[in-house]
Structure 1
Amino acid sequence: MLKNDLYTIASFGNAAGRVQASILLNTAHRIFEGHFPGQPVLPGVCMMQLVKELTEEATGKKLFLNNAAQCKFLSMVDPRRTPELTVMVDYQQPGSDLVTVNAVLKSEDTVFFKMNADLSVEG
């Protein structure tokens, strides 16, 4: 949904239940015009969607955010200052219809977002 529009994947690694991806934000994306005019910020819901989409890429399954047990927005992402982000997702598949994730969105030493969530397999 956001991939190849709001962001592109510069690198993607998936091994032993861990995704490490480098993404590049589309700093000219129209979402930044409204969120917020003159001070663009990556919306929190987009950070959550990024994690879901990268987990889908790793598992090859279409997923639905079922429960976000913990969601911490620690710093704002200004796409003009930080157009490249690192996303790390540790995931487990305890059942055929559930994927649990522990994710971090960061750039160098700055952590912007952390999330622990359950994603249900669609269909």
Structure 2
Amino acid sequence: MLNNNLYRIISFSNEGGKLEVGFELNTHHPIFEGHFPGQPVLPGVCMIQIFKELIEKASNQKLFLTDAGSCKFLSMVDPRQSPKLIYTIDYNLNEGNCKANGVLKNETAVFLKLNNCNFRVQP
């Protein structure tokens, strides 16, 4: 789990399957030393893991990502320039499955758009 390690939640709103979560990156996390030395970038896989963790927190379910219909990385997240981020997520739980869409952004830029992501609820 990356929460309280790579990032920490600073605001959390969950209303009827609509999330808006503000979070702050740990700019001193060791992942940024290797990805990339001298030019830190939040890895795409971490962006997707954070997306999953936020839906798990909102739904109180353990999820497994089975497929992502569309995953568009629009800009790199430099933690030195953009330590505070916002995820807006729409999700729907139905019969052991979850479908979700999300946007990772800050006040001025959009970094990632995820559409038609399917999760299986884990026992």
Q: Give the structure-2-normalised TM-score.
A: 0.97
Deviation at 1:109, TM superposition (A): 2.9
Which residue pairs with 1:111 in the alignment?
110
Identical amino acids, percent of aligned pairs: 54
**Which residue is equivalent to 1:51?**
51
* Corresponding pairs, count: 122
Equivalent position amino acid for 1:115 in 2: L
Cα deviation 1:76-115 (Å, max 9, x = unaligned):
000000000000110012x221110000000013000011
Matching of residue 11 in structure 1 with residue 15 in structure 2: no
Secondary structure at 1:49's aligned position in 2? helix
For 1:96 and 1:3, how far apart are their aligned partners in 2? 27
Who is 1:97 aligned against? 96
Stretches of structure 2 lacking an aligned partner (at least 5 in a row): none
Question: 2:26 is matched with which residue?
Answer: 26
Moved more, 79-88 or 108-117: 108-117
Question: How is 1:79-90 mapped onto 2 (pairs within 5 angstroms)?
Answer: 79-90=79-90
Q: Which runs of 5+ in 1 are unaligned?
A: none
RMSD between aligned alpha carbons?
0.6
SS in structure 1 at match of 2:55: helix
Q: CA deviation at 1:33?
A: 0.3
